[in-house]
Chain A
Amino acid sequence: MNGLIGNLSLGIAVLTAAGSLFAAAATVKFRSDRMLLWSRRLLYVLGLAITVGSAALMYALVNSDFHNAYVASYTERALPMGYKIAAFWAGQEGSLMLWALLLAGMAAIAAHGFRNRTRIEQSAMLGVLALVCGFFSALMLFAANPFVQLPVQAVDGRGLNPLLQDPYMIAHPPLLFVGYAGYTIPWAMLLAALISGRRDNQWIGSTRKWLMVSWVFLTVGIILGAKWAYIELGWGGYWAWDPVENASLLPWLTGTALLHSVMVQQHRGMFKVWNALLIASTFLLCIFGTYLTRSGVVQSVHSFGESLIGTFFLAFLCLCVLLSIVVLSKQRRLLKSEDAVQGMLTREGAFMALNVLLVLMTLATLVGTIFPLISGVVMPQPVTVGEEFYNKVVIPLSLVLLAVMSVGPLLTYGKGAAQQLIKSLILPGIAVVVGVVAALVLGMTNPWALACTAITVVAVCSVCVGLTRTVRQRRKIEDEGPLTATLRVIDGNHRRYGGQFVHMGVVMLMVGVAGSSLFGVEEDLTLEKGESKIVNGYTIKFGEIHQERHVNYLASSAHIDLTTPGGEVKTLHPEIRRYDKTEQPSAQVALNSTLARDAYVTLAGWGEGGSPVALQVFINPLIAWIWIGGIVMTLGAIFCLLPRLIKATAHAHASATTTTKHQSSPHATATVSLALAGEGQCDSQTQTTKTKQYAEAPK
């Protein structure tokens, strides 16, 4: 019954997708609004069908319906409920189902939001969305069906892979899929705008929210994945440049570039070709990454069985690339820039540099990932480039990028930015000299570490300088205290200050990465009962091993007394778990984490009678800042998306209403420009362009 419902809903999804696509084409051909209505309705039905299918799968999982092959392969009766639910995305079929569900939901929201667009723009968008949704539905129906029924019901399931039985793993994949699915919508909007021949820059504004949301989810997803790898995989690191990890990084890099360059198009009508290419490649990289990791073409530690899915993805990827190329090249006249970059040291110049750097990083990561494929063609034996390659190429590039990022907030659009920059760089300049000298005096000689110190200082100072300058200007006009003024300035420009908050998060992340990779220590220890050894200031003393029975596994845990360099004594329990349903043991890391450093201990094995034990000890300086940076980045990005929080004063009220939504009269526009004139040169310039746009566009 469950299988029938599931298969039926997948079948309906494929049919409605085809119907929606057909109706969208008919809309254009017959200029029929009725067809348009049907195209949209069918897309909604598709969303409903996928929802029903997902509910059926979830029902089977939760109720341990072992008629279902997927349920039998990825769960067992004794599995805690949370992991039964998480098993939804633990396997190939289920994870595609989740992707399809998110995609169909977002497609419905986007289609709903597009109701007031022109007929041709709407139909193009609906057609593209139906195509992508249809692909995923067909993929599940024909190549990765989560509703395959077993001839005989299994007595018990095989259980979930122990590595996946971790709270971070529950959250990590769905977050990534929200990002992947979300990047489909801007692509559809781009194609729709080009096909319908839009010349204005308004449409790019509506992609921004989708880009932002997808970026947030992708960021959180990647960072949780890193955290999961750190806690669960037990090799002391969090990122291994594995193809699967790279696959999520690629769209993140282009997506990050997009968030910046979209603003330039919105405000200045520039970078149109860049944006079009970036939107298309971000979506295509999501598909490409999935193809790469699930088809088995690239050897990876997460080996994926070769399957039909790879062929499906490749064919779909080719189709999407072709579609993007045809539309972009046919309509390239719409992508002419309205202005030129006025100089290297301008805000648009910095955005340009940032775009180029991120694209180069994307290319380097891509080349590194598919190097075995490329080399396999020209050489008898495929060659892989290891971590070395990424460290040599991507790391220097990212440091240059971070340097641009750190001065970026001080730059203004257009001419005169350079002079302004020199003036505002005086304080950060002095601070950086002081900071680097101090670091040298304290004995830090590693050039990479010094570069990171310099970037950190400049980045923090730039934000402070920019903010105090704007606050001072505001206080000349408004009668406010410093705190009120600061809060109002920040609240008055969420995009700017949210963005800078994100930048601070990136700096923290950089500090964490640099600290742990440059100064991390690793040591393998063999300890007898009661013996202790010192690793990098930490004293590690082994007590004994004891066993404990849990719901679906048996844990052997070592009692370790850890004395920190500060003299505190902590007890750690690194474990080896033997899950009932898998023969393989699984190691559980024990961690003592502080802001300064982590002590990370894994149990590698033990001799007869529980002694001696082999321990792997990692001391990772500053690594906690990676996770803190991730949280700050997320909060900053959310802040960008929030509406104004503080109720505006009577004076500022005019600006609040006009810059949000309401149609502004010419009179109001003038007031706003005046009111904002105090907000610093750069801000007022962007704001006036914005108000001008609003004044032009009738509601």
Chain B
Amino acid sequence: MTHVRMKMLVAGLVLIASVGYLAVAGVKSGWVYYLHVDDFVQDSSYQDRRVRLFGLVANENIEVAPELLTAKFDLRGESISIPVNYKGVVPDTFKPGGEVMVEGKLDEAGVFQADTLMTKCASKYQSEEHAKRLEEAQ
């Protein structure tokens, strides 16, 4: 009986150890910082890695060429903004003034080269309009 228990214990430990190892490896390779534009620009330590940036699409300087699958725009934070060069499918919900998330790296020219662009879409569960309506109703 104890023999079986021993075996199970060993098997369990091996399993947990390997999962732990995988988890550490997974975290390392999947590690992406989540930053606001302002934090990113102010702290140079993030500037040579791949990051995910949050910000607003500035109203000026937008060049979208959907047929070429590119979008150039300025990502605006509270005080600073940086130019973004995005290559890929421009989401339906991309619009001036909208909140977006881009993932990529800063190049030598100081342009953020993004390969992922996600808009924070109006949530499935709570539309902004609805929130406004509720406030009005109060």
Which positions in A face B, CB cutoff 8 Å? 69-70, 72-74, 90-92, 95, 148-151, 158, 161, 163-164, 234-235, 244, 293-294, 299, 301-305, 307, 340-344, 349, 352-353, 356-357, 360, 364, 367-368, 371-372, 381-393, 396-397, 524, 526, 576, 583-587, 602, 604-607, 612-614, 616
A contact residues around B27 at 8 Å (CB): 371, 385, 389
Q: Are B31 and A381 in contact (CB under 8 A)?
A: no
Cα distance A251–B125 when bound, in Å?
20
A168 vs chain B, min Cβ distance (A): 14
Bound Cα distance A391, B1 (Å): 37
From B4, B19, B65, B118, give the contact of A343 (CB < 8 A).
B4
Docked CA distance A385–B89 (Å): 23
| 18 A-B residue pairings within 8 Å (CB atoms) | A148-B134, A149-B137, A150-B137, A161-B127, A163-B121, A163-B124, A344-B4, A383-B32, A383-B33, A389-B26, A390-B26, A392-B23, A392-B30, A524-B88, A585-B92, A604-B69, A605-B69, A614-B67
Within 8 A of A (CB), among B16-40: 16, 19, 22-23, 25-27, 29-35, 39
| B129 engages A385 (CB within 8 Å) | no
Rounded to whole Å, the gap between the CB of B107 and the closest CB of chain A is 21
Of A302, A340, A526, A612, the contact of B121 (CB 8 Å cutoff)? A302
Q: Knowing that A304-B126, A340-B1, A393-B22 are A-B contacts, what are 6 other residue pairs whose CB atoms are under 8 Å apart, sorted by A's residue number?
A: A69-B137, A381-B46, A389-B23, A390-B30, A584-B95, A614-B69
Residues of B contacting A: mostly: helix
Chain B contact-residue range equals 35 or more
Q: Are B121 and A303 in contact (CB under 8 A)?
A: yes
Knowing A342-B4, A389-B30, A614-B67 are in contact, say whether A158-B123 is a contact too (CB < 8 A): no
Inter-subunit contact A384/B52 (CB<8 Å): yes
Instruction: List 6 tightest A-B contacts by C-beta distance, closest first.
Output: A605-B66, A388-B30, A392-B26, A73-B130, A389-B30, A389-B26
Number of cross-chain contacts by CB at 8 Å: 172
Question: How far in angstroms is the closest Cβ of chain A from B40?
Answer: 9
Task: Please indicate the chain A residues that have their CB under 8 angstroms from the CB of B93 in the complex.
Answer: 584
Give CA–CA (A342, B109) in the complex, Å: 67
Query: Within the assembled complex, what's the spacing in Å between the Cα atoms of A161 and B128?
Result: 12
Q: Which residues of B contact A392 (CB under 8 A)?
A: 22-23, 25-26, 29-30
Quote the shortest CB–CB distance from A371 to chain B (angstroms): 8
Contact A341 B8 (CB under 8 A): yes
With the chains together, A385 CA to B25 CA distance in Å? 11
Please pick, from B19, B67, B118, the residue contacting A607 in the complex, using a CB distance under 8 A.
B67
Q: Is the CB of A91 within 8 A of B19?
A: no
- Known contacts A383-B34, A388-B30, A392-B30; is A91 also within 8 Å of B23 by CB? no
Contact B133 A388 (CB under 8 A): no
A604 pairs with B66, CB closer than 8 A: yes
Report the separation of the CA atoms of residues A307 and B5 in the bound assembly, to the nearest whole angstrom. Answer: 49
Contact across chains for A352 and B136 when beta carbons are under 8 A apart: no
Q: Which residue of B lies closest to A581 (CB)?
A: B129
Q: Is B12 an interface residue (CB 8 A)?
A: yes
CA distance A368 to B31 in the complex (A): 11
Which chain A residues border B134 with CB–CB below 8 Å? Answer: 69, 148
* Residue from the set B11, B128, B133 with the largest chain A CB neighbour count within 10 Å: B133
Q: How far is the CA of A196 from the CA of B90 in the complex (A)?
A: 60
Structural contact, B136 and A583, CB atoms closer than 8 A: no
Given contacts A367-B23, A389-B26, A605-B66, contact A305 B4 (CB under 8 A): no
Residues of B within 8 A of A576 (CB): 92
Q: With a CB–CB cut-off of 8 A, which chain B residues contact A304? A: 123, 125-126
Q: Determine whether the beta carbon of A91 is less than 8 Å from that of B130.
A: yes
Q: Determine how close the nearest CB of chain B comes to the CB of A27; give it in whole angstroms.
A: 38
Contacts of B69 in A (CB 8 A): 524, 526, 604-605, 614
B127→A74 contact, CB < 8 A? yes
When chains A and B are docked, how far (Å) is the Cα of A585 from the Cα of B64?
A: 15
CB of B73 to closest CB in A, whole Å: 15
Q: How far is the CB of A413 from chain B (nearest CB, A)?
A: 14
A69 touches B133 (CB 8 A): yes
- Residues of the B chain whose Cβ atoms lie less than 8 Å from the Cβ of A357: 15
Among A92, A294, A303, A390, the one with the most B-chain Cβ atoms within 10 Å of its Cβ is A303
Contact of A74 with B19 at beta-carbon distance under 8 Å, contacts A344-B4, A393-B26, A612-B67 already known? no
For B87, give the chain A residue with the smallest CB separation: A524
Identify B39's interface contact among A301, A381, A605, CB under 8 A: A381
Q: Which residues of B have CB within 8 Å of A294?
A: 125
| In the complex, chain A residues whose CB is within 8 Å of the CB of B90 | 604-605
Chain A residues near B35: list those with CB within 8 A: 381
A612 to B16, CA, bound (A): 54
Pairwise interchain contact A385-B30, C-beta atoms closer than 8 A: yes
Rounded to whole angstroms, the CA-CA distance of A57 and B28 in the bound complex is: 48
In chain B, what residue has the closest Cβ to A294?
B125
